[in-house]
Chain A
């Protein structure tokens, strides 16, 4: 089992450009999450999904969109990147809401 994988690992964008981060899990988990990690601020939830075809907003959803067309995949989109979106993005999945979360290796995004 690969667990949770993320692509790409690194990306540099210019302000205003768009991109999609892909998260895939092979554990048949219902729940999937996107977090961003900034120095001194821990992990903040951007969006999450409780199952295929469903998405919901987390703490910091502005500027991001998500889609969960297939159970194993959770996409995070930035329509018009801003320097404030420079961060490390982690995807995670879990069997249910009260179980532990399994994290992917992260994507380091820089917006110039």
Chain B
């Protein structure tokens, strides 16, 4: 079955440092979405990537979709305490089930 793996599982950074989380799929994806979940909260949609090699930016956040559409990354520049939370990628396979498969998430802690 489809699997979406995400690394690292946890990341502790000093405020101002950069942060990156990586997402890898066992199958080729039609698109990938990223969500953020604050502690005690619910997942909130950040962005969707569709095209091979696509790069999108939201202020300090940069999202990339791999050329083979099997991996993605989220990079945060100069982290702030408001970035604390768990970041999930969620991919949709090009074949088979058309459901969204969530990665295991990366929990980011920012130390002031």
CA distance in complex: A43, B99 (Å) = 12
Instruction: Flag whether B59 is at the interface (Cβ < 8 A).
Output: no
**A46-77 vs B, Cβ < 8 Å mask (1 yes, 0 no):** 00100000000011000000000000000000
> B72-112 interface mask toward A, CB cutoff 8 Å, 1 = contact, 0 = none?
00000000000000001010100000111111110000000
Complex CA distance for A66 and B98, rounded to whole angstroms: 19
For the complex formed, measure the closest distance between the CB of B40 and the CB atoms of chain A, giving whole angstroms. 9
- Contact A101 to B31, CB < 8 A, known contacts A42-B102, A45-B100: no
Chain A contact surface mostly: loop
User: Which 10 A-B residue pairs are closest in the complex by CB-CB distance?
Assistant: A100-B45, A43-B102, A103-B42, A42-B102, A42-B104, A103-B43, A42-B105, A105-B42, A106-B42, A45-B99
Chain A contact residues, CB within 8 Å of chain B: 35, 40-45, 48, 58-59, 90, 92, 97-98, 100-106
Chain B hits for A103, CB < 8 A: 42-44
Q: Which residues of A contact B33 (CB under 8 A)?
A: 100-101
- Closest Cβ of chain A to B12, distance in Å, is 17
> How many of chain B's residues have a CB under 8 angstroms from any CB in A?
24
Some 18 contacts from A to B, beta carbons below 8 A apart, are A40-B9, A41-B104, A42-B6, A42-B103, A43-B90, A45-B100, A45-B101, A59-B101, A90-B42, A92-B43, A97-B92, A98-B31, A98-B92, A100-B33, A103-B44, A105-B41, A105-B42, A106-B42
B99 to A44, Cβ gap below 8 A? no
How close is B52's CB to chain A, nearest CB, in angstroms? Answer: 16
Specify the chain A residue showing the minimal Cβ separation from B47: A100
